[in-house]
Amino acid sequence: MRKVPQLHVATGATKWNDPKNFPWTMGWQPNYQTEGRIYAAHILQTKPNAKIGILFQNDDYGKDYVKGLKDGLGDKVKMIVDTQNFQATDPTVDSQLITLKNSGADTLFLFTYSKQAAQAISKLDDLNWKPTTYLHLGAASVGATFKPAGLEKSKGILSAGFLKDVTDPRWANDEDVKDFFVWMKENLPQADINDSLNEAGYMYAKTLEQVLRQAGDDLTRENIMKQAASLKDFKLPLLLPGSTINTSATDYRVIKYMKLQRFNGKTWDFVE
């Protein structure tokens, strides 16, 4: 092993929070299993008699979410009445949605990327099936998922958020959001401001900047990893209020704070 720091990988895969086995690799996004447990907690609180159906991509990514949800449900895991999977190369998920509807599920979890999420939302409308629907945060995009599916069809979908949506009018007077727009205008004036990857990249860079500040003049690989695993109450400008970053040698998770949101057809409303 060459011991090259691989910092802030753009994934929430659980394997990247494994400092014992992968001490030189650190993820950045919220952990998939943690997100799944958040959804489980909400279901247990608000709909304890739910009949749950799950659609997931049949790979490590999808299985991570399913495990988190099941772990969160604990001894209530029997609430899950059916689980359907698909391959990333499958042309549609129509047959899986039909099977899930026929299972009697009244609550649906979509652990899919944007393409399949848009297909699923559109198919729900075709089937006139209106389950309480949770969509994982990676696919909860107005531009990539809800517009292709139909904004009206997407109303009511729940997801966990962790970033301020810089296109949402609620943050129009937020000083950190204003600073982001100034930075974008100066450095990436041609970029599509609706593409959330621009915001994510900005945040990755801000995190790395803090690591380098803490490292000072000691830019050895060992010290870079040590500082990346020593962030204390660090606040990133575009995280939701209440979120701070704390990492350690035994916990590589960068983003831990998420808040449940519901899509209203245009933007997101927080679910209290």
Domain shared by 121 and 137, yes or no: yes
Domain shared by 93 and 187, yes or no: no
Which phi-psi region, left, alpha or beta, contains residue 156 (left: φ > 0; alpha: ψ -120 to 50)? left
User: Residue 234 maps to which CATH number?
Assistant: 3.40.50.2300
Amino acid at 34: T
Domain shared by 195 and 173, yes or no: yes
What percent of the chain shows pLDDT beyond 70? 100
Domain limits at 56? 32-161
Buried/exposed code over 37-50 (b: 16+ C-beta within 10 A; e: otherwise):
bbbbebbeeeeeeb
Q: Residue 16 above 90 pLDDT? A: no
- pLDDT value at residue 146: 94
- pLDDT value at residue 248: 97
- pLDDT value at residue 10: 86
pLDDT-based confidence at 144, cuts 50/70/90?
confident
Q: Residue 44 above 80 pLDDT? A: yes
Domain shared by 172 and 94, yes or no: no
Q: Which residues contact 210 (CB under 8 A, 6 or more apart)?
A: 231, 234
Q: Which of 161, 183, 218 is the last residue of a domain?
A: 161
Domain shared by 136 and 57, yes or no: yes
Domain shared by 99 and 151, yes or no: yes
Domain shared by 203 and 113, yes or no: no
- DSSP letters, 24-72, are TEEE-SPPHHHHHHHHHHHHHHH-TT--EEEEEESSHHHHHHHHHHHHH
pLDDT-based confidence at 87, cuts 50/70/90?
very high
pLDDT-based confidence at 104, cuts 50/70/90?
very high
Q: Which residues contact 133 (CB under 8 A, 6 or more apart)?
A: 107, 108, 109, 110, 121, 124, 156, 157, 158
Residue 72, domain member (yes or no): yes
Q: Which of 161, 188, 215 is the last residue of a domain?
A: 161
Residue 267, domain member (yes or no): no
Domain shared by 149 and 177, yes or no: no
Express each pLDDT in 163-198 by its tens digit.
Answer: 998 988 889 999 999 999 999 999 999 998 878 889
Express each pLDDT in 221-249 by its tens digit.
Answer: 999 999 999 999 999 999 999 999 999 99
Residue 99, token pair as written in the block: 């099977």
Mean pLDDT, the chain, rounded, equals 95
Mean pLDDT of 91-115: 97
Q: Could you give the number of structural domains in the chain?
A: 2
- For the entire predicted model, the pTM comes to 0.89
Residue 268, domain member (yes or no): no
Q: Residue 1 above 80 pLDDT? A: no
The distance from CA 60 to its chain's CA centroid, rounded to whole angstroms, is 15
Q: Based on the number of CB atoms within 10 Å of its own CB, is 219 exposed (0-12), middle (13-18) or buried (19 or more)?
A: exposed
Domain shared by 49 and 151, yes or no: yes
- pLDDT value at residue 158: 98
Please report the beta strands in 153-232, taking only residues with DSSP state E, as ranges in sequence order: 158-161
